[in-house]
Amino acid sequence: MVESIAESVNPLSERNTPGSEQEERLPKVTIGLPVYNGELFLHEALSSLREQTFQDFELIISDNASTDSTADIIARHAAADSRIRAVRQAENIGAHDNFLFVLSEARAELFMWASHDDIWEENWLEVLCDCITPEDIGVRGRIDLTRDGQVIAEKKPPDFRRFDFARCFLHNENDYRSHYAYSLFNREKLLGADLESFKFEYYPDALLIYCLLEQGSLRTVDQTSLRYRLHDENLGLQYSGKWKGWKKILYRIHPLRYYLAYVRYSRRPLTKLSIALLIPVKHLYAQFSFWVRGGKELITGKRAV
């Protein structure tokens, strides 16, 4: 179901050629970048990754059958950088399967998903490689929220220790913990998590973060950051964008299936019971938070970030 974007440029099919240099020496980090119709921001993202001070990485890009100039942008960068391995899906396989595809192609000890519309500080990989510990499943830097090229807020997701399930479940989804999906991960631990949770249709990244805590801690460090663009094509805004105005105040309630998913993806019986008992607490807290958030947006006329 996949084809090389440019057969003459680092095709994936050549990665395990017997006796090749690629087979003899693996990079320290694999960056997986899934993309669909990313022509507006992709060039900046790829340039940002290629200019990292830490250079020992491979970059796997999966074009999910884009219909714009994404393939051309990828081909130009791949022609200029031998660390890039590019593949084009023959048909759109969906966003989450594309995320899992680039992970399945990774070879390095450490792995990072990259979004096609982010920009990373030059020391992002260097800092995270230095900071990750055996107790962590993943570490990441701060988030600089940008709109129209201007930084409008700085965010730091809360740290979560391994097995910190109850605290993670009770946290408001607006705490930016879903951005831990773009951490630098211990790849072996990441593969040990229940990655099927990432295919859930409602807040899949928040559910994924919960499942990752089975394998290790998640931490945010202050020494580096990335720029996260706020724009109408953000996947998160696509999920929540329909809830505006009075709808946000009256109806923005998590569906029961979302709460029950946390119970289903909990591996330990005691954790399952604890999360089930916490569902009413979570529901009331979440609804109150949505009321406050929606009310502020109506009064100020500004979207909360």
**Closest C-alpha to 194, from 151, 116, 137, 270:** 137
pLDDT given for residue 93 in this prediction: 97
pLDDT given for residue 235 in this prediction: 45
Listed as own residue / partner, the contacts of 21-28 with beta carbons closer than 8 Å and 24 or more positions apart are 26/107, 26/108, 26/109, 27/56, 27/57, 27/58, 27/83, 27/107, 27/108, 28/54, 28/56, 28/57, 28/108, 28/109, 28/110, 28/129
Confidence (pTM): 0.85
Q: Which domains does the chain have, with CATH numbers?
A: 1-116 (3.90.550.10)
DSSP-based three-state secondary structure for 113: strand
Pairing of strands 150-155, 136-147: antiparallel
Percent of the chain with pLDDT over 70: 82
Lowest-confidence region among 14-18, 53-57, 260-264: 14-18
pLDDT given for residue 18 in this prediction: 43
Contacts of 18 (CB under 8 A, 6+ apart): none
182, pLDDT greater than 50: yes
Q: Which helix (H) or strand (E) holds 294?
A: helix 269-300
pLDDT given for residue 244 in this prediction: 53
